[in-house]
Amino acid sequence: MSLSNDDDGASDANRHQPLIDDLTTFYHALAESCYIQPSDIRLPPHGPDFNISLGLSLGYIPKSLELLMS
């Protein structure tokens, strides 16, 4: 499901996945090195059960919600 008018919504999510994975790995490395507490890492809600209506009502743009749905 694409929320925006662009035809490449799924490819956008795939394009960003390496960056998301690298940032997640980086934050976990910081926690393992005791620079931050593991509880400091807050991952956004995501996946197929993500509440799209809530995201739209809170003012998030469709492109950002597509990333959270993937």
Q: What would the pLDDT profile of 26-38 be if each residue is shown by its tens digit?
A: 999 999 999 999 9
Query: Residue-wise over 10-28: b if at least 16 C-beta within 10 A, else e?
Result: eebbeeeeeeeeeeeeebe
Q: 65 and 50 in contact (C-beta within 8 Å)?
A: yes
pLDDT at 10 over 60: no
Q: What would the pLDDT profile of 18-66 be if each residue is shown by its tens digit?
A: 988 999 999 999 999 999 999 999 988 888 888 889 989 999 899 888 8
Q: Which of 49, 46, 50, 40 is nearest to 21 (CA)?
A: 46
Q: How far is CA 49 from CA 7, 20, 44, 52, 69, in A?
A: 22, 19, 12, 9, 8
Q: Would you kindly state where each structural domain of the chain is located, as residue ranges?
A: 9-69
